[in-house]
Structure 1
């Protein structure tokens, strides 16, 4: 009798494969699905590698010095380009005397790189000049430093304890009279604190314009009121309150009765109820 031996195929020898992932694979997949882990892996690790490399490079002082020298050379090569060179300065809005004072104050040695110009600091230096009310500085095309000046307009001469000054309509000092002798035609005021009431003085000078050359000037009395001084005529004592109206009243009396041509030493208007001669 023949004995038949049945052989098993490989498929029959192995058990069916489990399709579920292993525990390690499952945990790795769960970890990868975490946004923080993905961000750390994509950004944190490269950043750590770069920072570590930079730290290692910076630990050598020679590398730092070479880097600084390279940056300085690159900056200097840019600053020295012709389009960034300032070769001249123009001053607008200033008289020739003030323009020379501005040039002397800035004392710039041209040519100079526009990167080396601190325009705000230069503007402050220009505005420290008494005759300058406001200044504007800018670099124009063609290598020109343009300085635009708003000059204080001389309005009056103020005789003060410390000297004789030219002041503007607001009482700000412009220059000593000795520096601008051509301004002697301006109206004159004197006395302590006269510059603080310059606006009132300007109004009085405007009202007193019909007096012409007879008007010598105004004197500030006690830092509270004005006296009007005439070359030929009485001294007019104005009140502390509303002096412009009082002066207008005196001029009206002069037009009607020639008051200021009479043999009178003083016209006292300090009492608002009456005029005392």
Structure 2
């Protein structure tokens, strides 16, 4: 019998000769896959690497001075074209809340050449400059629609005239300088204070002046004595010497005595209230001489 199997001799077909493909990744591919699964590596590849490339390209591009200058000039040109658009231009300045003199001073300290771009205005610096004026208590600056620089001013309110050693000045209720005076007669409507340190005690002076309102027609002013207390000066050369503390209370006592006994109508030079427990009256020389003679005569009559 013949065998059914037959030996195949000669070369095998190409499909049969090829070795089967191994589905497992290569060692390099496996390592790259594992590395890609690392969050830090993936973030570096997706974010860090592009940034590095951009930075490197920018550095190379701007390595030349000519390129840097060209880019800077172009940016400045674009910025200037935007800043000088009509809607951003300021054409005039309006000042509200200020007197004519203060308005002139503001325009002098803010020498702005209109028209000017609003981007070129440093409003904060300008505000501090305006508030540096003696007569200005508060200032607010803003750019209004229509190209108007609006300046809102709150002026200091004059309260007293202070005659110092070298000048005569108007002060507000807090002792801030408002303006300079050439002569006291320029502001006769304001009370007068004088003496060293008087400008630093204006609130106390105003309280004393308010208490002295019943005798305001005779009031000439306040004198600061030793930078620690006040003398109230009246007409006819009279003075009320007030203590360091409780000056208003002491003055109210004097006014009460004057209302009852007409004290200030007498021939007095001074009423010394510095010692609250022992007020002292200082007579004028004629009154003192007359009182002395009266006492002598009384002693003589008594002796007889």
Shorter-normalised TM-score: what interval? over 0.9
Deviations 1:10-60 (A, max 9, x none): 565444433222222222221222222222222233222222211111111
Among 123, 141, 148, which residue is 1:144 paired with?
A: 148
Q: Would the aligned equivalents of 1:158 and 1:164 in 2 still touch at CA under 8 Å?
A: yes
1:208 aligns with 2:209: no
**Following the alignment from structure 1 to structure 2, what is the Cα–Cα distance between the partners of residues 88 and 14?**
92
Indicate the residue corresponding to 1:168 in structure 2. Answer: 172
**Following the alignment from structure 1 to structure 2, what is the Cα–Cα distance between the partners of residues 92 and 205?**
32
Q: 1:235 Cα shift?
A: 1.2
Unpaired runs of 5+ residues, structure 1, are none
CA RMSD of aligned residues (A): 2.1
**Following the alignment from structure 1 to structure 2, what is the Cα–Cα distance between the partners of residues 48 and 171?**
63
Unpaired runs of 5+ residues, structure 2, are 282-304
**Following the alignment from structure 2 to structure 1, what is the Cα–Cα distance between the partners of residues 134 and 111?**
18
1:6 aligns with 2:13: no
Indicate the residue corresponding to 2:161 in structure 1. Answer: 157
Indicate the residue corresponding to 2:96 in structure 1. Answer: 92
Among 196, 219, 223, which residue is 2:223 paired with?
A: 219
Among 23, 28, 40, which residue is 2:32 paired with?
A: 28
Indicate the residue corresponding to 1:186 in structure 2. Answer: 190
**Following the alignment from structure 1 to structure 2, what is the Cα–Cα distance between the partners of residues 165 and 84?**
42
* Distance verdict in 2 for CA 1:230–1:181, change over 3 Å: closer
* Distance verdict in 2 for CA 1:124–1:191, change over 3 Å: same
**Following the alignment from structure 1 to structure 2, what is the Cα–Cα distance between the partners of residues 221 and 198?**
14
Among 251, 254, 259, which residue is 1:250 paired with?
A: 254
TM-score normalised by length of structure 1: 0.93
Q: 1:180 Cα shift?
A: 9.6
* Distance verdict in 2 for CA 1:73–1:181, change over 3 Å: farther
Deviations 1:186-228 (A, max 9, x none): 0001000011111110011111112132100000111111111
**Following the alignment from structure 1 to structure 2, what is the Cα–Cα distance between the partners of residues 137 and 47?**
44
Q: Would the aligned equivalents of 1:158 and 1:190 in 2 still touch at CA under 8 Å?
A: yes
Q: Would the aligned equivalents of 1:188 and 1:217 in 2 still touch at CA under 8 Å?
A: yes
Indicate the residue corresponding to 1:262 in structure 2. Answer: 266
1:126 aligns with 2:146: no
* Distance verdict in 2 for CA 1:82–1:181, change over 3 Å: farther
Instruction: Answer with 10-19 or 113-122: which moved more.
Output: 10-19
**Following the alignment from structure 2 to structure 1, what is the Cα–Cα distance between the partners of residues 18 and 217?**
132
Q: Which has the larger radius of gyration?
A: 2
Secondary structure of 2:125's counterpart equals: helix
Q: Would the aligned equivalents of 1:233 and 1:261 in 2 still touch at CA under 8 Å?
A: no
Q: 1:267 Cα shift?
A: 0.8
TM-score normalised by length of structure 2: 0.85
Q: 1:141 Cα shift?
A: 1.2
* Distance verdict in 2 for CA 1:96–1:246, change over 3 Å: same
Indicate the residue corresponding to 1:66 in structure 2. Answer: 70
